[in-house]
Amino acid sequence: MSDITEVRDLLNEHDPLAQNAAPLDDLAVERMWRTIVSNIASGAVPQVRPPARHEPKLVRSAVAAIVVAACVLGGLVVANRHNSPAASHYVALRPLNYSRSVDPTPAGPTLARLSAVAKAQPAPVSSGLYYLETASWSTFAGSDASDLPPGMPNVLEQWIDAKGAQRILNHVDLPAPAAGLQAWLNAGLPLTGGRVDGHTAPAAQQRQFPDNLSTDPATLEKQLLQAELGSATAGGPPTTVELFTALKDLRAARQIDPALQGALLEMLANQPGIVSLGSATDRLGRVVDAIALDSDFSGLATRYVLLFDPNDGRLLGSEDVLTKSAGSLNVPIPSVISYVIYVRDGHVRDDTSSPPPL
């Protein structure tokens, strides 16, 4: 049996479509493409390991690495997308300036305070559509082209109805300004000069989480882990890492009311290993409270950071930071290798309108 046949057999075994998985969203597909291009361009052959869990949603994270191996072993040539305005600008970013990055403290008190603040917020408006704008950025291969500005994030706009159906606009290939990424952020994330991919997603494709999540922290933890893991209970990231992922997935899926947000924060306060990094100013100039979890489950020591609004407890963003070694990535330590910014959200009249600008 040839190497190509072996890789294809491995790929077929973990094909999300063959497992009746929901379609991959635009961000996931774009990340896969960037991973493929970066690895092939650099000549890197990844260590391909089949996922220990066979839930369709969890298999998706392994598909990109398997596809890269298939392309490399098959001798395929993939275009390097130099015509893309953002293609050559993906370099690592420096972490935010956390007030307690050197001497973090247990996060329990901070999370308890945020939980109380969240629960005290008024009930949200429920008419119309819920709008959420998200900017996300990641790098899978470093760049020593220091004269290039940092890469531009993808910007995702979502209009979500009461049943969970969505209209989605994904803004990609936004041209990086000569002044760099921070200039674009300071300007309020102008969405001009790139490409817009739009589609709709029926409510049935968005049902990762139960409609009625509990506000009891212990019950809520079980619900979130069930939503992330399905029937799998071993072989994956630590439980707290899964809960961090669940919080980000839930934030991207629907509006979170104050009672549920308070319960989410209370649940985190009960988890081991979470620390407070103090306060910081995020990439949009907002003051945030940062909590973090250190883990090397991915193979490199990484600090997973969640950023919360101290005034209402909402999740405003997240960052993943390499803290000890870059492995094969050509980036300094520490470096942010991915981040998500929840730019703005609120209720709007229809799927062509948005909340007031920043």
C-alpha distances (whole Å) from 301 to each of 45, 57, 169, 266, 298 are 21, 24, 34, 26, 8
Sign of CA dihedral 285, 27, 205, 52: negative
The 8-class DSSP code of residue 154 comes to E
- For the segment 91-119, the average pLDDT, to the nearest whole number, is 93
- What's the pLDDT at 232? 65
- What's the pLDDT at 125? 74
Give the whole-angstrom CA distance, residue 7 versus residue 12: 9
* pLDDT tier, 9 (very low <50, low <70, confident <90, very high otherwise): low
The answer to whether residues 118 and 258 touch, using CB atoms and an 8 Å cutoff, is yes
> pLDDT per residue over 167-210, tens digit each?
999 998 887 777 777 788 888 888 888 889 999 988 766 678 88
- What's the pLDDT at 82? 32
Which of the residue ranges 29-33, 153-157, 200-204, 233-237 has the most confident prediction, judged by mean pLDDT?
A: 153-157
- For the segment 73-85, the average pLDDT, to the nearest whole number, is 29
Which of the residue ranges 32-46, 75-89, 203-217 has the most confident prediction, judged by mean pLDDT?
A: 203-217
Q: What is the pTM of this model?
A: 0.73
Give the whole-angstrom CA distance, residue 348 versus residue 188: 19
> pLDDT per residue over 80-93, tens digit each?
223 333 333 345 67
Edge to edge, the sheet with strand 315-322 lists 105-106, 275-281, 287-295, 302-308, 315-322, 335-348, 129-138, 154-160, 166-172, 195-201
* pLDDT tier, 65 (very low <50, low <70, confident <90, very high otherwise): very low
Ordered by start, the domain boundaries in the chain are 3-73, 105-348
Residue with tokens 């973990």: 14
- What's the pLDDT at 58? 33
- What's the pLDDT at 154? 87
* pLDDT tier, 49 (very low <50, low <70, confident <90, very high otherwise): very low
High-pLDDT (> 90) share of the chain, %: 42
Give the whole-angstrom CA distance, residue 358 versus residue 354: 11
Task: For residue 17, give every residue at least 6 positions away whose Cβ sits within 8 Å of its Cβ, in sequence order, or none.
Answer: none
Longest dimension (CA), the chain: 64
- What's the pLDDT at 75? 27
pLDDT averaged over every residue in the chain: 75
**pLDDT greater at residue 85 or residue 159:** 159
> pLDDT per residue over 254-288, tens digit each?
999 999 999 999 999 999 999 999 999 998 999 99
> pLDDT per residue over 281-314, tens digit each?
998 999 999 999 999 988 889 999 999 999 999 9
Residue 7 CB coordination number (10 Å): 20
